[in-house]
């Protein structure tokens, strides 16, 4: 039997590549397995495109130097803003300074990509420490004339509007209530500046609030904003991969309502339904009150929370074998 394993990451425990390889290890002796790690524009986007092949030192979110990985293939660059301006680099929400956190390092990576011949640049906008509206990134990209011959696409993992980013994501980046109010006012002013200087109204633009407004900032200089899962799935030709197998296995760390709002699990299940391909979902946890179009297994339900977190790969192998066995019996 031909099986495609196409998961997202299990955040905090296993990358999408690790998840896919664990499931392949469990099933490879009995089936023909194909793996395609996926992402929705957040962390793991580079991995979905084949992994990084460049590392450069740039300014981190709080201005300390960081080593950021990215990918250059031909004239196409893949950049994850979390590699340069991510919350983890700022020490998490406890140590982050949500007012000072800047996207300048992401802009530096884009500038480096252009200098090395990239003419098509995909920026994954997820996992940010920042709510600067992209000001830091644009500062690093001056003179902006260099962008005229470059196509920039921002893969967004949320549909949040520009100013909404402050209230929606500010607290997740360590912002207090008063800081959220400040960040909201700042984004309102930044949006006005973009409109006055460039004639682009990012304030009402869907997805412009991704990565604390980085998406909107880049949109103000001509970038296209797209759903992250759609961008990744089209690039890896996921529809063709699913059409040519008997079963697709997908999953992520936590499956809930948001998983069906432009993210990996919902996207894979939709494509499986369109192609009439059988599907299985393996998650760390999943919301029991939802109705699912495919069998779903939770690691915590099957092996317990402790094993699910401390022995994620072994847990994935066990659950994958069980899931495929049960599916085979029910055919």
Domains 2-36+239-330 and 45-230 share a fold: no
Q: Are strands 76-80 and 65-73 parallel, antiparallel or unpaired?
A: antiparallel
Instruction: Give the pLDDT confidence score for residue 73 in this predicted structure.
Output: 95
CA dihedral 200, 201, 207, 213 (to 10 degrees): 80
DSSP state of 154: E
The C-alpha atoms of residue 107 and residue 124 are separated, in whole angstroms, by: 13
Single out the residue of 91, 96, 86, 106 nearest to residue 173, CA to CA.
96
The domain segmentation of the chain, as residue ranges, is 2-36+239-330, 45-230
Beta bridge partners of 249: 5, 280
One digit per residue, the tens of pLDDT, for the chain of length 331 reads 999 999 999 988 999 999 999 999 999 888 999 999 999 988 899 999 999 999 999 999 999 999 999 999 999 999 999 999 999 999 998 999 999 999 999 999 999 999 999 999 999 998 999 999 999 999 999 999 999 999 999 999 889 999 999 999 999 999 999 999 999 999 999 999 999 999 999 999 999 999 999 999 999 999 999 999 999 999 899 999 999 999 999 999 999 998 998 899 999 999 999 999 999 999 999 999 999 999 999 999 999 999 999 999 999 999 999 999 999 887 6
DSSP state of 247: E
Q: Domain 45-230: give its CATH code.
A: 3.90.1510.10
Instruction: Give the pLDDT confidence score for residue 331 in this predicted structure.
Output: 67
Cβ atoms of residues 82 and 43 within 8 Å: yes
Neighbours of 47 (CB within 10 A): 22
The C-alpha atoms of residue 178 and residue 170 are separated, in whole angstroms, by: 11
Instruction: Give the pLDDT confidence score for residue 258 in this predicted structure.
Output: 87
Q: Which residues contact 75 (CB under 8 A, 6 or more apart)?
A: 117, 118, 119, 120
The C-alpha atoms of residue 113 and residue 213 are separated, in whole angstroms, by: 21
Q: Give alpha helix (H) positions in the chain.
A: 16-27, 45-48, 81-85, 92-95, 104-115, 135-141, 164-169, 177-198, 214-219, 228-235, 238-243, 264-275, 299-303, 305-310, 312-330
Tokens 């192609």 -> residue: 275
Q: Is 199 exposed, middle or buried (0-12, 13-18, 19+ CB in 10 A)?
A: exposed
The model's pTM is 0.89
Sign of CA dihedral 177, 92, 37, 7: negative
The C-alpha atoms of residue 59 and residue 43 are separated, in whole angstroms, by: 19
Q: The domain at 2-36+239-330 falls in which architecture?
A: 3-Layer(aba) Sandwich (3.40)
Instruction: Give the pLDDT confidence score for residue 157 in this predicted structure.
Output: 87
Tokens 């003419």 -> residue: 119
């Amino acid at each position: 039997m031909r099986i495609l394993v196409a998961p997202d990451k299990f955040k905090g425990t296993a990358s999408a590549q690790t998840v896919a390889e664990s499931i392949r290890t469990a099933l490879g002796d009995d089936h023909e397995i194909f793996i395609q790690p996926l992402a929705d524009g957040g962390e793991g986007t580079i991995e979905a495109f084949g992994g990084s092949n460049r590392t450069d030192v740039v300014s981190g979110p709080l201005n300390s130097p960081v080593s950021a990985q990215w990918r250059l293939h031909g004239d196409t660059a893949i950049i994850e803003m979390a590699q340069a301006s991510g919350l983890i680099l700022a020490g998490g929400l406890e140590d982050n300074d949500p007012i000072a956190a800047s996207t300048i390092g992401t802009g530096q990576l884009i500038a480096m990509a252009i200098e090395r011949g990239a003419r098509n640049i995909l920026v994954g906008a997820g996992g940010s420490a920042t709510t600067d509206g992209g000001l830091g990134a644009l500062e690093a990209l001056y003179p902006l004339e260099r962008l005229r011959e470059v196509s920039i696409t921002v893969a967004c993992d949320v549909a949040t509007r520009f100013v909404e980013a402050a209230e929606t994501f500010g607290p997740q980046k360590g912002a207090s209530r008063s800081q959220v109010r400040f960040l909201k006012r700042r984004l309102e002013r930044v949006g006005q500046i973009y409109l006055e200087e460039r004639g682009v109204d990012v304030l009402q633009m869907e997805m412009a609030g991704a990565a604390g407004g980085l998406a909107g900032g880049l949109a103000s200089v001509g970038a296209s904003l797209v759903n992250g899962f759609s961008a990744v799935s089209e690039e890896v030709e996921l529809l063709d991969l699913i059409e040519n197998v008997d079963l697709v296995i997908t999953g992520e760390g936590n499956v809930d309502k948001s998983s069906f709002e432009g993210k990996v699990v919902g996207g894979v299940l939709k494509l499986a339904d369109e192609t009439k391909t059988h599907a299985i979902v393996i998650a760390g946890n999943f919301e029991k009150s939802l109705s699912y179009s495919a069998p779903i297994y939770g690691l915590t339900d099957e092996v317990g929370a402790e094993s699910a977190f401390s022995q994620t790969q072994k847990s994935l192998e066990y659950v994958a074998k069980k899931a495929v066995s049960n599916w085979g019996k029910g055919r």
